[in-house]
């Protein structure tokens, strides 16, 4: 890069005032590991500034606000970064992967390099985290401004992350326009996510959205095993927090893997779904380094003549997108194609030829892959990563094959009326839930009350309408969080709610039953509504009033930890409580069973 036009200035060229140097000398860094959730591999560390008890400031935000007020924010931030880089570059200190540094957006123009005249790729890879709590709202930046800054940071050799995502004013639009390498979900959405269905739905949607854009997701503040398992199963890539590794003063205490995460994965007794299937179907296409000259593209597609795309990776073997052969037509069909590609006036690296594409981890269950990527965003295919690094490519043809396999599997065990999973899928789900002892589960058997006289009186078509009406309510509830709905057959259904706590789950089931009680009134004629039901013969041949349709449920609460339950014990407990559920005013019996 031409030094005259460089947006960077060496950190040595600016120094904080003497009073600030004394303050900064009293501060210290702790290093918080960022860990791959499915493997336990340490991906990098975040430098967290501490020691504020010896200063007039409460935290980093307070420090930077004061520095900005005295017009020395860039110098103070550069000094903070120098301390962090120096701690990770001490002689004899092994590399710790990527080093994540928080930056205040107000000090990004120009950005002082945190090392005098150094190469930003040397030593640990540097990821600059633009913290929404550090300057984005205060600076009043438009998303386009932030996008431009992120582009310059990336051109300078840095990785880029959005920190505390969801806590500030910027939202999905910034993520879409800026397309950083990482997005860190704010700890507010992580705390108690295993007990909060609303947080779970938000985080699940954000992970899917980020992956569609090719952005890796880091969960901040993961403190307990239940949060870890839920986030991992939602597809989150990395985690940081006490559950995966506490902060340390000495970076040498952090190894290549995180023992806490390895232990959590060993203790997880749930059966992996479709394990290895992605490994079978991906293509191990040779990637192109992002600094390759454009002229190399023609040779690449000439050698790999059956390929229509070329994956592109950076110096750390992380995918940054792909180049499509069809975008090279103006060069391929030109007599001067090679000359055009070599023309430095048009830029000599791949640059604008790189197209962003969705990224998916190789350990992601197939149903999540199909759900997240069977859309036009994946029309060119999906890049597969392992530990954040390029592992292969899932072509559109392979993705369609997976979709077809999934549809066949679903169709084999699906109720033809409601299209809900049938008995075999329900049994599998119960077995998986009972094996998952890290979370709370509420397993609910549901069946209609007074369905036979209703069906006999109004006919099977109206009976089917009632069943479909309830099935749609079940589907809506199951779609709001980590839940499962199935149709046993006839007027019998099954519902499972995972994570969260018993009170919240029971409230959701009660609301479901009450909603259907109200819905069902519309299925009756005016006379039946007036008298509160229909007069028909009972099983003994006697005429009597049959109340309007309701649904009763037996809910078995399965607490976290060892429980010794199995499907047979569960079925026996449900059968013993059906009568009690039907006799209760709210039509719900909640039980906690202890194995003999």
What is the structure's pLDDT at 3?
Answer: 38
Same domain for 22 and 167: yes
Tokens representing residue 549 in the block = 């349709």
Of 161-175, 342-356, 581-595, least confident by mean pLDDT is 342-356
Same domain for 520 and 380: no
Per DSSP, which regions of 406-461 are E strands? 441-449
Q: Report the alpha-carbon distance of residue 286 to residue 595 in Å, rounded.
A: 55
**Which pLDDT tens digit goes with each residue over 530-562?**
999 998 877 777 888 999 999 999 999 998 888
Q: pLDDT band at residue 138, thresholds of 50, 70 and 90?
A: very low
Same domain for 260 and 292: no
Strands 42-50 and 111-113: unpaired
Q: Is the pTM here over 0.75, yes or no?
A: no
Same domain for 439 and 401: no
Q: Report the alpha-carbon distance of residue 207 to residue 219 in Å, rounded.
A: 10
User: Average model confidence (pLDDT) for the chain?
Assistant: 81
User: Is 9 among the domain residues?
Assistant: no
For residue 262, what is the domain's CATH number?
3.20.20.450
Q: What is the DSSP string of 301-334?
A: HHHTTT-SEEEEE-TTS-EEEEEEGGGGHHHHTS
For residue 559, what is the domain's CATH number?
3.30.70.270
Tokens representing residue 371 in the block = 């759900």
Length of the chain: 596
Q: Which SS3 state, helix, strand or coil, does residue 167 take?
A: coil
User: Is 290 among the domain residues?
Assistant: yes
User: Is 3 among the domain residues?
Assistant: no
The tally of domains found in the chain comes to: 3
Same domain for 248 and 388: no
User: Is 473 among the domain residues?
Assistant: yes
Residue from 113, 168, 170, 125 nearest 146 by CA = 170
% of the chain residues with pLDDT over 70: 82
Judge contact between 135 and 156, C-beta under 8 A.
no
Secondary element (H or E) of residue 368: helix 366-373
Judge contact between 287 and 391, C-beta under 8 A.
no
Q: Report the alpha-carbon distance of residue 555 to residue 591 in Å, rounded.
A: 6
Q: Report the alpha-carbon distance of residue 255 to residue 33 in Å, rounded.
A: 9
Torsion sign over Cα 160, 166, 172, 174: negative
Secondary element (H or E) of residue 9: strand 8-10
Domain that holds residue 469: 415-591
What is the structure's pLDDT at 290?
Answer: 84
User: Is 128 among the domain residues?
Assistant: yes
Tokens representing residue 36 in the block = 């791959």
Q: Which of these three, 406, 440, 455, is where a domain ends?
A: 406
Mean pLDDT of 319-325: 87
Same domain for 350 and 264: no
For the cut 60, the answer to whether the pLDDT of residue 149 exceeds it is: yes
Tokens representing residue 526 in the block = 């005016």
For the cut 50, the answer to whether the pLDDT of residue 136 exceeds it is: no
Cβ neighbourhood burial of 123 (10 Å; 0-12, 13-18, 19+): middle
% of the chain residues with pLDDT over 90: 30
CA distances 375 to 14, 227, 279, Å, are 49, 29, 21
Same domain for 522 and 580: yes
Same domain for 191 and 266: yes
What is the structure's pLDDT at 287?
Answer: 93
Cis check: omega of the bond before 110, within 30 degrees of 0: yes
Q: Which SS3 state, helix, strand or coil, does residue 501 take?
A: coil
More confident residue, 497 or 105: 497
Q: Report the alpha-carbon distance of residue 56 to residue 410 in Å, rounded.
A: 62
Mean pLDDT of 471-484: 86
More confident residue, 565 or 176: 565
For residue 363, what is the domain's CATH number?
3.10.580.10
What is the structure's pLDDT at 115?
Answer: 46
Judge contact between 354 and 287, C-beta under 8 A.
no
More confident residue, 347 or 64: 64
User: Is 1 among the domain residues?
Assistant: no
For the cut 90, the answer to whether the pLDDT of residue 179 exceeds it is: no
Q: Report the alpha-carbon distance of residue 167 to residue 150 in Å, rounded.
A: 19
For the cut 50, the answer to whether the pLDDT of residue 123 exceeds it is: no
Q: Which of these three, 209, 236, 270, is where a domain ends?
A: 270
More confident residue, 394 or 540: 394
Q: Report the alpha-carbon distance of residue 332 to residue 286 in Å, rounded.
A: 21
Bridge partners, 126 (sequence order): 99
Same domain for 368 and 433: no
Rounded (10°) angle between helices 502-520 and 460-478: 150
Q: Report the alpha-carbon distance of residue 172 to residue 547 in Å, rounded.
A: 49
What is the structure's pLDDT at 85?
Answer: 85
Judge contact between 315 and 289, C-beta under 8 A.
yes
More confident residue, 446 or 373: 446
Report angle CA 218, 219, 222 to the nearest 5 degrees: 145
What is the structure's pLDDT at 140?
Answer: 47
Mean pLDDT of 55-74: 88
Judge contact between 496 and 430, C-beta under 8 A.
yes
User: Is 10 among the domain residues?
Assistant: no
Same domain for 430 and 390: no
Q: Report the alpha-carbon distance of residue 84 to residue 251 in Å, rounded.
A: 10
User: Is 461 among the domain residues?
Assistant: yes
Mean pLDDT of 475-486: 85
Q: Which of these three, 270, 289, 322, is where a domain ends?
A: 270
For the cut 80, the answer to whether the pLDDT of residue 246 exceeds it is: yes
Judge contact between 430 and 497, C-beta under 8 A.
no
Tokens representing residue 514 in the block = 């009450």
Same domain for 393 and 333: yes
Cα 13 to chain centroid distance, Å, stands at 41
More confident residue, 17 or 553: 553
Tokens representing residue 448 in the block = 């209609």
Q: Report the alpha-carbon distance of residue 7 to residue 499 in Å, rounded.
A: 48
Same domain for 134 and 27: yes
Mean pLDDT of 158-183: 78
Judge contact between 27 and 240, C-beta under 8 A.
no
Q: Which SS3 state, helix, strand or coil, does residue 349 take?
A: strand
For the cut 60, the answer to whether the pLDDT of residue 591 exceeds it is: yes
């Amino acid at each position: 890069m031409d030094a005259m036009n460089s947006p960077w200035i060496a950190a040595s060229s600016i120094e904080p005032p003497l009073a600030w140097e004394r303050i900064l000398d009293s501060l210290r860094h702790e290093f918080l590991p960022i860990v791959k959730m499915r493997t336990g591999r340490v991906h990098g560390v975040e430098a967290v500034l501490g020691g504020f008890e010896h200063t007039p400031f409460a935290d980093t935000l307070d420090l930077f606000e004061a520095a900005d007020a005295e017009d020395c924010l860039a110098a103070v931030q550069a000094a903070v970064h120098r301390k962090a880089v120096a701690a990770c570059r001490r002689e004899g200190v092994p590399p710790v992967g990527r080093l994540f540094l928080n930056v205040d957006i107000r000090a990004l123009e120009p950005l002082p390099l945190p090392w005098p005249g150094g190469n930003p790729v040397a030593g640990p890879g540097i990821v600059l985290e633009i913290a929404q709590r550090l300057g984005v709202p205060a600076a009043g930046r438009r998303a386009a401004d932030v996008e431009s800054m992120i582009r310059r940071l990336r051109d300078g050799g840095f990785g880029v992350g959005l920190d505390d995502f969801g806590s500030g004013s910027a939202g999905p639009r910034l993520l879409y326009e800026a397309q950083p390498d990482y997005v860190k979900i704010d700890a507010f959405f992580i705390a108690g996510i295993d007990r909060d269905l609303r947080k779970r739905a938000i985080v699940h949607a954000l992970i899917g959205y980020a992956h569609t854009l090719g952005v890796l997701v880091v969960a901040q503040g993961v403190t307990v095993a239940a949060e870890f398992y839920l986030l991992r199963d939602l597809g989150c890539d990395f985690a940081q927090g006490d559950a995966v590794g506490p902060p340390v003063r000495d970076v040498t205490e952090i190894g290549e893997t995180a023992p806490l995460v390895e232990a959590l994965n060993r203790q997880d007794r749930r059966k992996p779904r479709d394990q290895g299937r992605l490994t079978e179907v991906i293509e191990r296409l040779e990637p192109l380094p992002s600094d390759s000259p454009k002229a190399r593209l023609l040779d690449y597609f000439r050698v790999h003549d059956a390929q229509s795309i070329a994956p592109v990776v950076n110096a750390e073997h992380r995918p940054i997108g792909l180049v499509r052969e069809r975008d090279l037509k103006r060069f391929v069909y030109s007599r001067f194609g090679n000359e055009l590609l070599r023309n430095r006036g048009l830029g000599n690296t791949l640059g604008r030829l790189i197209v962003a594409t969705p990224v998916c981890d190789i350990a992601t269950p197939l149903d999540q892959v199909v759900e997240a990527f069977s859309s036009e965003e994946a029309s060119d295919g999906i890049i597969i990563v392992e530990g954040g690094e390029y592992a292969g490519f899932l072509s559109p043809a392979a993705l369609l094959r997976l979709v077809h396999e999934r549809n066949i599997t679903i169709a084999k065990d699906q109720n033809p009326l409601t299209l809900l999973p049938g008995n075999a899928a329900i049994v599998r789900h119960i077995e998986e839930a009972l094996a998952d002892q890290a979370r709370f589960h509420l397993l609910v058997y549901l069946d209609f009350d007074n369905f036979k006289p209703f069906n006999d009186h109004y006919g099977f078509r109206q009976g089917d309408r009632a069943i479909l009406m309830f099935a749609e309510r079940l589907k809506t509830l199951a779609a709001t969080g980590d839940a499962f709905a199935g149709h046993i057959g006839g007027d019998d259904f099954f519902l499972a709610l995972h994570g969260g706590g018993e009170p919240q789950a029971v409230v959701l089931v009660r609301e479901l039953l009450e909603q259907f009680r109200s819905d069902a009134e519309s299925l009756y004629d005016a006379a039946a509504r007036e008298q509160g039901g229909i007069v028909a013969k009972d099983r003994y041949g006697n005429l009597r009033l049959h109340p309007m349709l309701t649904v009763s449920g037996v809910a078995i609460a399965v607490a976290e930890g060892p429980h010794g339950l199995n499907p047979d014990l569960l079925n026996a407990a449900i059968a013993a409580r059906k009568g009690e559920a039907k006799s209760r005013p709210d039509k719900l019996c909640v039980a906690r069973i202890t194995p003999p």
